[in-house]
């Protein structure tokens, strides 16, 4: 805490740093490892030992990602014959709202690995985002099972510099 919050950082040089080779793009899966960043230890502990899927890049070179390995006790139960249920994963502390990134009216993002279901590809990761109504219809009609989807309830943002340090 002292190093991160109280000791001033070393001064930055006035000369701009050379542009690093870009290694993070939409569809990249990242895992935290090595030495944990101050942010992970002090304020966003849910990121410690997390798997992240980069979903979107903003023009300001901020990356929007979802944590894949933080299931919650919250469930979605489907109106189908055997009433299947699926856990909702905690994707981050950023709320999902609106129609961007195929977010449904409950603030959930539906991800699948099966290209036959359609949806929007997330980069070249082999993962697809589907609108919730389409995913629910696939389950209701028996064309998919609840286990074919990962439901995420949030996102987290990273600046490119932060990702390159980790």
Closest residue by Cα to residue 153 from 83, 79, 97:
97
**What global pTM score does this model have?**
0.74
| C-alpha distances out from residue 109 to 14, 22, 41, 149, Å | 42, 27, 27, 10
Domains in the chain (CATH in brackets) are 29-165 (3.40.1740.10)
Spell out the per-residue pLDDT of the chain, length 166, in tens. Answer: 555 556 666 676 666 666 556 578 899 887 776 555 555 544 566 676 788 899 998 888 888 888 888 888 888 887 767 777 888 888 778 887 766 778 888 888 999 999 999 999 999 999 999 998 899 899 888 899 888 999 998 888 888 777 665 5
What six digits make up the tokens of 2? 């002292």
Residue 121: strand, helix, or coil: strand
């Amino acid at each position: 805490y002292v190093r991160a919050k109280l000791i001033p950082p070393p001064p930055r040089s006035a000369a701009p740093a050379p542009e690093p080779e870009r290694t993070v793009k939409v569809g990249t899966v990242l895992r935290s490892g090595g030495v944990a960043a101050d942010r992970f230890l002090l304020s966003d502990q849910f990121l410690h030992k997390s798997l992240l899927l980069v979903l979107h890049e903003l023009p300001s070179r901020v990356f929007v990602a979802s944590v894949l390995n933080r299931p919650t006790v919250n469930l979605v139960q489907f109106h189908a014959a055997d009433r299947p249920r699926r856990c909702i994963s905690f994707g981050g502390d950023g709320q999902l709202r609106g129609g961007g990134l195929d977010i449904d009216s409950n603030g959930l993002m539906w991800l699948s690995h099966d290209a036959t279901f359609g949806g929007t590809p997330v980069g070249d990761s082999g993962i697809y985002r589907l609108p919730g109504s389409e995913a629910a219809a696939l389950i209701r009609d028996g064309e998919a099972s609840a286990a074919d989807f990962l439901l995420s309830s949030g996102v987290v943002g990273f600046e490119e510099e932060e990702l390159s340090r980790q």
